[in-house]
Amino acid sequence: DYELCEEWGHLYPVPREDLINLHREHLLHLLEMGDMEKALQLLQRIEDPGICLAISEQSLDQHPNLAASHFLADYLTAHFYTSLTTARRNEIQALCIGSKVLLTLPELSRVNYFHLSSRPLLMLEQLLMNMKVDWVAVAVQTLHQLLAGQEIGFTIEDIDNLLSKYAEKALNFPFTLKEKRS
């Protein structure tokens, strides 16, 4: 049905917003089905870069599944980096990095942290609060590799400060130890 609508759009004038909505829904459908190749082909068929940018951004804002979010963030960064505002660029890069960190977590636990995929530092803090120290170690290692030379709103120093803060809290005892008397 999407392809028939697309053909119809080539034959008759379709308002820009309707065209964007059609392609966005088609793209999201392909991404939900896991067909990244056809999704890429769809985006490449769109001749107007403004429409392609709008479709990609709107699709990403729909918060699709992890693989789809990662695909869209990568696509936007690769093809429209200079067209994006600095704030939007940082947001998309944070989502891309957050989705990579999310992929380091055990598969069954990803759903619990998916809502934090666009905020990797907050995801790291949530992992620390949930005492998932092994997961934090892998996440921090991944973040250190991904943050090298990138600006996304936080730095490696912010990660180190967060780890220091929770390490200090872990060593803070709310009671005093009493000596045993014989």
Question: pLDDT 10s per residue in the chain (182 long)?
Answer: 778 877 777 788 888 898 889 899 999 999 999 889 999 988 998 888 998 999 999 998 888 888 888 899 889 988 988 888 888 888 888 888 888 888 889 988 888 988 888 888 899 999 988 888 899 889 988 888 888 766 667 778 888 888 888 888 877 766 666 666 65
Query: What pTM does this model have?
Result: 0.73
Which residue, 49, 84, 119, sits at the end of a domain?
A: 84
Residues 140 and 155 in one domain: yes
| pLDDT given for residue 37 in this prediction | 92
Residues 54 and 12 in one domain: yes
Q: How far is CA 18 from CA 14, 57, 63, 88, 179, in A?
A: 7, 16, 21, 24, 76
Contact (CB, 8 A) for 38 and 23? no
Q: For residue 5, give its domain range.
A: 1-84
| pLDDT given for residue 179 in this prediction | 65
Which residue, 84, 100, 135, sits at the end of a domain?
A: 84
Residues 75 and 107 in one domain: no
Which residue, 84, 99, 114, sits at the end of a domain?
A: 84
Which region holds residue 180: left if phi is over 0, alpha if psi is between -120 and 50, else beta? beta
Residues 37 and 98 in one domain: no
